[in-house]
């Protein structure tokens, strides 16, 4: 769901990941509050985007992980950077 208190309108959307693969869908034809470009979305179960199944396919840095308990949220794993991805590749130069 969108990370904000309320929305006046809703729309039917597909929620997709950034990998540009035909199977990179979180939801299809889902009715959600209207979301503007750049807004954040909270998704409870993310499959391969969560750390348990994460990879660096297509040189994608792994996402940050946030633990949410009630109204409290805590960063438990920082977002990976491109420098993190290349660190081992460049170490021999």
Out of 8, 20, 52, 90, the active site residue is: 20
C-beta separation of 85 from 76 below 8 A: no
> Can you give the length of the chain in residues?
93
Neighbours of 49 (CB within 10 A): 20
Active site residue 60: no
Question: What is the rounded distance in angstroms from the CA atom of residue 18 to the CA atom of residue 36?
Answer: 17
Catalytic residue positions, numbered: 20
């Amino acid at each position: 769901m969108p990370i904000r208190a309320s929305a006046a309108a809703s729309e039917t959307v597909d929620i997709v990941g950034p990998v540009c693969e035909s199977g990179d869908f979180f939801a299809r034809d889902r009715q959600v509050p209207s979301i503007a470009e750049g807004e954040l979305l909270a998704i409870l179960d993310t499959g391969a985007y969560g750390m348990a199944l994460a990879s660096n396919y297509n040189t994608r840095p792994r996402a940050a992980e946030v633990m949410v308990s009630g109204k409290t949220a805590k960063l438990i794993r920082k977002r990976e950077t491109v420098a993190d991805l290349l660190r081992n590749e460049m170490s021999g130069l």
